[in-house]
Copies of this chain bind each other. A is one copy, B any other.
């Protein structure tokens, strides 16, 4: 492996000059620059990233916290982050937490110890005081509405997305609407709940706690949802479902039991995943790949001031409403 000193010798200049052309700094004559460039080409030189990192005091590593790596929602987010990271010569440190707070703290600790340059938390379990404590050690970026906090984020307005879906169902004549989520504690879930509550109040609909079904995350959870709906004395006529993955499960289960969709039960999913397109599921599109890219850029190129970035969502009308 040829190094910067070898290059200097080959080009007949000093290491400083080599470093200058390597980093395209000013103050180097065209003549010497070309000599160095030639030497680089001839020797097939590549900088030793370890030395660069040590010298710069940076790791070029970005931590990514997700509850589940192999879940369609998060793997799509990771895809976006990874694509942008590669472009900027950053590497990923993937933390799968399973929503275990200790796992998330491990990631936060790595930030504190400067083992990573920044941390992206795609879905959070630790409380605000914890996050805010670690904020002083390095950039933390979230994927939820943080406008009331001093933490940067790229987020989707789940309140608006949910409301749009609800209004659409109302317009279609539905008055008994339920919804599925994974966990009720997350910010995104809370925003969805808030929209639901406001919607109920606005149209003076009755509130039925049964209509809110939690722990829905995978395709196979769709079956549980249909189970519950079938057991209700007064079942909903429409359901907003966690994600298209789960919505697809609901639709599949419903078919198996001769529940007609949308006649017996209308369904709206989220994310506009490929599966929603194939199964003609009406959905709220969330551009996850794009969000992943934004999260990365925000996580690395961050100023002192928190920066909030909202990504718009779109209702995609298909066959399940």
- Residues of A in contact with B (beta carbons under 8 Å apart): 1, 46, 48-51, 53-54, 57-59, 61, 69-72, 75-76, 78-79, 82-83, 85-86, 91-96, 113-115, 218-220, 222-223, 248-249, 252, 255-256, 274-275, 277-279
- Nearest Cβ distance between residue A241 and chain B, in whole angstroms? 15
Per the bound structure, the CA–CA distance linking A249 and B83 in Å amounts to: 28
Residues of B within 8 A of A95 (CB): 86
Q: Which of A59, A91, A96 has the most CB of B within 10 A?
A: A91
Per the bound structure, the CA–CA distance linking A92 and B252 in Å amounts to: 36
- Nearest Cβ distance between residue A278 and chain B, in whole angstroms? 3
- Nearest Cβ distance between residue A291 and chain B, in whole angstroms? 13
Per the bound structure, the CA–CA distance linking A96 and B92 in Å amounts to: 13
Residues of B within 8 A of A1 (CB): 114
User: Is A223 touching B75 in the complex (CB atoms < 8 A)?
Assistant: no
Per the bound structure, the CA–CA distance linking A12 and B96 in Å amounts to: 40
- Nearest Cβ distance between residue A321 and chain B, in whole angstroms? 18
The 6 residue pairs across chains A and B that have the minimum distance between CB atoms: A220-B278, A46-B113, A75-B75, A70-B75, A50-B54, A50-B53
Per the bound structure, the CA–CA distance linking A100 and B50 in Å amounts to: 29
